[in-house]
Structure 1
Amino acid sequence: MNLFEKSSSSSSDEEEFIVIRRPKLYRKRVDCFEKYDDLNFFQRFRLRKTTVLSLLQEIEDVIKLPTQRGGCITPMQQLLLTLRFYASGNMQIAVADFLGVSTSSACRIIKRVSRALASLRAQYIKMYSDNREMERSAEKFYQIASFPRIIGAIDCTLIKIDSPGGIDAEIFRSRKSYFALNVQTVSDASLKIRDIVARWPGSVHDQTIFNNSNLRDRFENGEFGRYILIGDSGYSLRSYLMTKLLQTRTPAENLYNESIIRTRNVVERQYGVWKRRFPILRYGMRLKLDTTMAVIVATAVLHNIAIDMNDLLPEDLLYNEEMDNNEDILQPVENNLHMGHNIRQLLINEHFASL
């Protein structure tokens, strides 16, 4: 062997590295069903044990892992980790430590379970399908402040997010100067979410979201008959969407405004209960944009399930969402909204004038 060959051999030996793989760590996982009583369980996950068991039956086949090898995380553990993330409004590392999994596993679990819950949207978030349901809804709304024919109160709320980055990031900056999604919902008198749109940047106006929604097309096509929505002054007056008067001149008009304000308060209360049950909606999300949207819809599904199962929040956990006083007052376009003005005036003259 010549000198060059020896040098080459020596150099090759020096470039060899020994890679020692870190041994896999299996953490001890907490059995929350056994550890916590009903009250403590509810405080940590914001749903009762019976509700969680019922929910698990609906998504278990979707979220279970294909193998049981390697310390597999069970569907129940995945669901509880995700609920804890929604309920704590905390970072993923905190909920990972809480249930004894790695942060990377927690990230994947939250994404998987949120999408599975969001897939239940058609089953739990839906407008009315027949006249009997609409009539019952209108009766419940009428009991609040004597406003007739209402089947929903519509509004938007800002959900904080991290900047999504990229050249379009600034369109997510809301009028309150933080990055957000502007989420539209329709609430019924029981505070259930009947419709949700959770895909628009925070800078987009409420009316723009409604104009591009499927719900508007359904009302335009007469699917809900004589029944109507109510909204704040951020929405344009329509034949199927009543807003308050900017100026009142008669006692009947004063009654109309007072009634619409009191009745529309249900959507503000709905936001309050929704965000209080799942503080992740209040404190903001550090997730990818598509996962954030899935989380918003998933928590809306859980909100409705909680109402159906009578999982009421204790009084000390309830709070009222602050009213949005920064709404833009839209100027009506007469050629499109003439019928809306006529219907509003008819309600004032024939209904509120006789109260």
Structure 2
Amino acid sequence: MQQLLVGLRYYATGSFQLTSGDLGGVSKATVCRCIQRVSNGIASLGQNIIKFPGTAEERRKVIEEFYNIGLFPGVVGTIDCTHIPIKSPGGENAEHYRNRKGFFSLNVQTISDANLMIRNIVACWAGSVHDSTIFHNSSIRGMFERQEIDRCHLLGDNGYKLSKFVLTPFLNPLTNAERNYNRCHIVTRNTVERQYGVWKRRFPALKFGLRTKLQTSLSIIVATAVLHNICIKSRDDMPHEDETLVEFFQRNRLALNRNPNVGQVEGGDGDVPALQYRRRFAQTHFA
């Protein structure tokens, strides 16, 4: 039980110092071992707790819930990535983890449903990798490509390449239908932004940075996603930001080693068939 408490306290603070002090001076080495064991154990539950809607009936329900938010039809999930700060992993590949904002991170992709549940997570990519690359190599994209998931789509921002199963906003809407499409797209896609906000407020370690070994950091991310979903299912109260923690990390800020010269490749606006599909979709549903 104490190991579980150590792990949960670390997720809630992101600080070895606070975790050790709160639990009666447990050594840093012991705290690290507890965090690793607890995180591995909770993360192993992911395949049962973090599940993409698998049946037609499950997808129908999700689509209906999204439609009730923003009047955008056929949405089975909203997709985006977020950067989780980490310490430098060291080694010859360390700079690969430095993102375009100049700090070390893991770029984590999630798909949210209308209730802010995490329906899919990819937590293995370095901070320099672009969002569109992560999706291109994901199992979810393969399922859409093989039409194992059909007659529905994801909503993403313009960091993603437009396709028939990932709909992005019009960069320059020309008609009322395209403008209406964009308005409904923004309202609906906002769910994934809200999901990230709730997830990080619930587990501030994700916001303030993980000072653990790389493999443990990966497990922590998945473990907190599992716990986030359990909280949503249990109708747990939405968390507020802990001002004490904010002040603590302002005084003891992670060394981010900023490098403003790191660039990023854009996702692109899709090929001609995808552009034509989006135009027809907007005209059909938003004219």
Normalised by the length of structure 1, the TM-score is: 0.72
Residue of structure 1 in register with 2:5 after alignment = 80
State yes or no: 1:350 paired with 2:284: yes
Residue of structure 2 in register with 1:330 after alignment = 267
State yes or no: 1:131 paired with 2:65: no
Residue of structure 2 in register with 1:272 after alignment = 197
CA RMSD of aligned residues (A): 1.7
State yes or no: 1:103 paired with 2:23: no
Distance 2:228 2:196 in 1: 10
8 Å contact from structure 1 (residues 141, 150) kept in 2: yes
Residues 279-328 of structure 1, C-alpha deviations (whole Å, 9 max, x = no match): 0001101111000000000000000000011112255669xxxxxxx986
| Higher alpha-carbon Rg | 1
Residue of structure 2 in register with 1:148 after alignment = 73
Go from structure 1 to structure 2 and tell me whether the alpha carbon gap of 1:83 and 1:315 turns closer, same or farther (over 3 Å shift).
closer
1:1-355 matched pairs, under 5 angstroms: 76-91=1-16, 93-100=17-24, 101-314=26-239, 329-332=266-269, 334=271, 338=273, 340-353=274-287
Residues 182-227 of structure 1, C-alpha deviations (whole Å, 9 max, x = no match): 0000000000000001111101000100111111101111111101
Gaps of 5+ in 2: 244-262
Gaps of 5+ in 1: 1-75, 319-325
Distance 1:193 1:80 in 2: 24
Q: Number of matched residues?
A: 267
8 Å contact from structure 2 (residues 79, 155) kept in 1: yes
Cα drift, residue 164 of structure 1: 0.7
Residue of structure 2 in register with 1:73 after alignment = none
SS in 2 for 1:116: helix
Distance 1:117 1:232 in 2: 31
Distance 1:152 1:327 in 2: 25
Residues 134-182 of structure 1, C-alpha deviations (whole Å, 9 max, x = no match): 0110011111111000010000000000111111111111111110000
8 Å contact from structure 2 (residues 96, 127) kept in 1: yes
8 Å contact from structure 1 (residues 234, 327) kept in 2: no
Distance 1:269 1:286 in 2: 25
Go from structure 1 to structure 2 and tell me whether the alpha carbon gap of 1:193 and 1:182 turns closer, same or farther (over 3 Å shift).
same
8 Å contact from structure 2 (residues 162, 270) kept in 1: no
Bigger RCO of structures 1 and 2 (CA < 8 A, at least 6 apart): 2
Distance 1:138 1:218 in 2: 18
Residues 17-73 of structure 1, C-alpha deviations (whole Å, 9 max, x = no match): xxxxxxxxxxxxxxxxxxxxxxxxxxxxxxxxxxxxxxxxxxxxxxxxxxxxxxxxx
Distance 1:264 1:155 in 2: 9
8 Å contact from structure 1 (residues 193, 304) kept in 2: yes
8 Å contact from structure 1 (residues 233, 327) kept in 2: no
8 Å contact from structure 1 (residues 147, 259) kept in 2: yes
Cα drift, residue 103 of structure 1: 2.3
Normalised by the length of structure 2, the TM-score is: 0.89
Residues 253-284 of structure 1, C-alpha deviations (whole Å, 9 max, x = no match): 10001111111100000000000010000110
